[in-house]
Amino acid sequence: MVVERQPGGTRLLDVLDRVLDKGIVIDAWVRFQLVGLDLITVDARIVVASIETYLNYAESLRLTGLAAMPEVVLGESVATSRTLRRVRVSRKVA
Amino acid sequence: MDSRQRRTATKAPRKSTKAEKSAAEDVHVRITEFAVPSEAPSVEGGRYVYGIIEAKQPLSFGKMGIGGAGETVYTVNFQEIAAVVSKTSVYIFDPTRENALAHEHVIETVMKTHTIIPMSFGTVFRTDDDIREVLRSIFVSLKDVLKQMEGKLEFGLKVNWDRDRIIEELKDSDEEIRQFHQEITRKHLQSTYFARMQLGRMIDKALSERAAQYVRDIYEALRNVCVASRDNKPIGDKMIMNAAFLVERDREAEFDAAVNKIAKFYGELLNFKYTGPWPPYNFVNIRLKLERGAS
């Protein structure tokens, strides 16, 4: 059997799997804010919240739950709510 | 007062007297209160950002921007890095089929000649100057990541199996399961319900072990032809492996050959879905946030 390699952007599922939350990510909340902000004139700036690159060889050894429940990414939701809170806090402080 | 007016109001007082400065800060406070502006975008519009590349000179990649109007895709440069952008009058993009594919298409075009750190879908800034400001602010991180990803491509590999077929095979090949299965079929036990439950558990366990073994072998076969790999969660109950591999551009053919070899080895037993090249989505995760200035 010869495996045909499909070019990246042919199947929507594979594309969405990558473009929605991988690479350089700005929270949806901040993206909304950017619409109303002019970064040059306003006293706020975009900074790196976290940065990770994965250059090691990760082998799969966790194949116990083939039909497991969807994974809840705890860290992510915490980060999001923290960001939201911070925005609100900064408003109050100022 | 809409946010457009406030924005203009901020521009002038910034460099002037103390009293005016505090007024400007007051304005800033109110700006953060409004997440979604009600105004229509300005005539000039915004800038959709696709990703970051290394480039000393401004570049143009042709008319293929997101939004359907075929806007020119060009770079906004800051020192030796650049954002790949196109003009848009829309600020909030929905990830429709058309939009998602347009986003990906631009990135893949740029990728033919450059290493690109992809931006996730739907990032729009107001102006080229705003983008330069962001590039300046996160310059060091971007340089570092660009260097790490230089000359590398991502490939996707999803492996599916026919679960029912493997179960049938297990009933023949796994001695324990085979005997137990025969016993149930032969004896018509009263306790057949519980016996079948037990058989089910035995099969589940054997399936997991079998899948783990396949996946380990596939990773092992590809280890020497790539830089790194990431193991994503399989989707659905037919998928046993959902991986991404980071491969040196000049070893692409070698990786291809290795994938084909392992796929050939498994023949009809496993189904390989092999995609790429992709930009290194699975190997870079930079999260950006908005921070108030120091003053």
Residues with Cβ within 8 Å of A12's Cβ and at least 6 positions away in sequence, in order, are B97, B100, B101
Asked if B53 contacts B150 with a C-beta cutoff of 8 angstroms, the reply is no
Question: If contacts are CB pairs under 8 Å, which of residues 39-58 in chain A contact chain B?
Answer: 39-58
H-state helical runs in B112-234: 128-137, 139-149, 163-173, 175-187, 192-222
Residue of B91, B101, B274 with shortest CB distance to A12 = B101
pLDDT of residue A61: 45
The answer to whether the CB atoms of B285 and A53 lie below 8 A apart is yes
Give the closest-approach CA distance of B212 to chain A in angstroms.
6
DSSP state of B19: H
The answer to whether residue B287 scores a pLDDT higher than 70 is yes
CA B238 to chain centre: 22
Asked if A5 contacts B275 with a C-beta cutoff of 8 angstroms, the reply is yes
The domain segmentation of chain B, as residue ranges, is 29-150+286-292, 155-278
pLDDT bin (cut points 50, 70, 90) of residue B189 is low
Pick B70 or B26 by higher pLDDT: B70
The answer to whether the CB atoms of A8 and B276 lie below 8 A apart is yes
Give phi and psi for B69, each to the nearest 5: -90, 0
Q: Does A33 touch chain B (CB under 8 A)?
A: yes
Maximum distance among all Cα pairs of chain A, rounded to whole angstroms: 65
Q: Does A7 touch chain B (CB under 8 A)?
A: yes
DSSP state of A42: S
Question: Would you give per-residue pLDDT tens digits along chain A (94 residues)?
Answer: 568 888 887 889 899 999 999 999 998 778 877 777 666 667 778 889 999 899 887 655 443 333 333 333 333 333 333 333 333 333 333 3
Residue pLDDT, tens place only, B42-81? 446 899 999 999 999 999 999 999 998 999 999 999 999 9
Does the ipTM surpass 0.85? no
Give the closest-approach CA distance of A33 to chain B in angstroms.
5
Asked if B149 contacts B52 with a C-beta cutoff of 8 angstroms, the reply is no
Nearest CA among B171, B45, B33, B145 for reference residue A23: B145
pTM of the full predicted structure?
Answer: 0.76
Residue pLDDT, tens place only, B78-122? 999 999 999 998 888 999 999 999 999 999 999 999 999 999 999
Give the closest-approach CA distance of A74 to chain B in angstroms.
16
The answer to whether the CB atoms of A16 and B100 lie below 8 A apart is yes
Per-position b or e across B81-119, b if 16+ CB within 10 A of its CB:
bbbbbbbbebbebeeeeebbbbbbbbbbbbbeebbbbbb
My answer on whether omega of the bond before B118 falls inside 30° of 0, hence cis, is no
Give the closest-approach CA distance of B113 to chain A in angstroms.
16
The answer to whether residue B178 scores a pLDDT higher than 80 is yes
The answer to whether the CB atoms of B284 and A15 lie below 8 A apart is no
